[in-house]
Amino acid sequence: MKKWSVVLLFAAVLGLGLSQPAAAAIEVEGDVYVGVWSKYLWRGFNLSDSRPTIQGGIDLTSGGWTLSTWHNWQLTSGDNYKSGEMNETDVIISYAHDFGDLVSVNVGNIWYGLDGAEDTNELFAGLTVNTLLAPTVNLYWDWDAADEEGLYFTFDVSHTFELMDKLALNLGALVSYNLHSDYSVGDYSGFHNYELSASLDYALTDQLTLSPTFIFSSGICSAAKDAGVNTETIGALNLTFNF
């Protein structure tokens, strides 16, 4: 019950936030996406035995609130996973708000439903400065399965280049810092990993986008490397339908 309590609480708040007079229409927009990935990499950890996975999800947004689900399926069997097995389902609920034109904030909760590990919840908060490279800082707190009152931070920048009609190039860089977030990362303090990413968005139609993606990730501090954060490269091909 504990694992679902915060999800139900946020769902109730979402319902209240979306409540409108009977005559008013509620506008909902979102996307559905699916992709084939060469491996499942999360915070620098290789979670699929370097074997390919299918990852997909749904995002629904209305009035600043977003409800999302995300799923991971193994494509081939390995030492720890079976082919066709869905070994993770995440449910995310969040609220975003702009403070003027310069600053945007996003807060919410992620419920991780895991196969072979204890399910858990993370609260998160993010701040983006809407200027060149869109610098963003995110904070995560595992309030559920973690033993320590630890935190996990990410700092990232990104930029999109419009190459031609219907084609855009996205470049990004991220560095993370672990502060004794012992369940999801490890009971240590230090810079955890960095990631460099590049992707192309090709608009097949007004609503359908094909996106080949490449990510390079590597551990930073010795504790992260000892915990299993190695140098990894990941390739993916994603298809997104926006509505």
* pLDDT of 60 strictly over 90: yes
Integer Cα distance of 38 and 214 in angstroms: 10
Q: What are phi and psi of 145, to 5 degrees?
A: -85, -15
pLDDT digits (tens, 9 = 90+) for 149-177: 899 999 999 999 999 999 999 999 999 99
CB 128 within 8 A of CB 103: yes
CA 136 to chain centre: 14
Q: How far apart are the first and last CA of the chain?
A: 34
| φ, ψ of residue 107 in degrees (nearest 5) | -130, 155
> How high is the pLDDT of residue 82?
82
* Entry pTM: 0.88
pLDDT value, residue 14: 52
Q: pLDDT, tens digit, for every residue of 209-225?
A: 999 999 999 999 999 99
- Burial code (b: 16+ CB inside 10 Å, e: under 16) for 77-112 equals eeeebeeebebbbbbbbbbeeeeeeeebebebbbbb
pLDDT class of 15 with cuts at 50, 70, 90: low
What's residue 1's pLDDT?
Answer: 44
Determine the Cα–Cα distance for residues 159 and 82; give it in Å rounded to an integer. 37
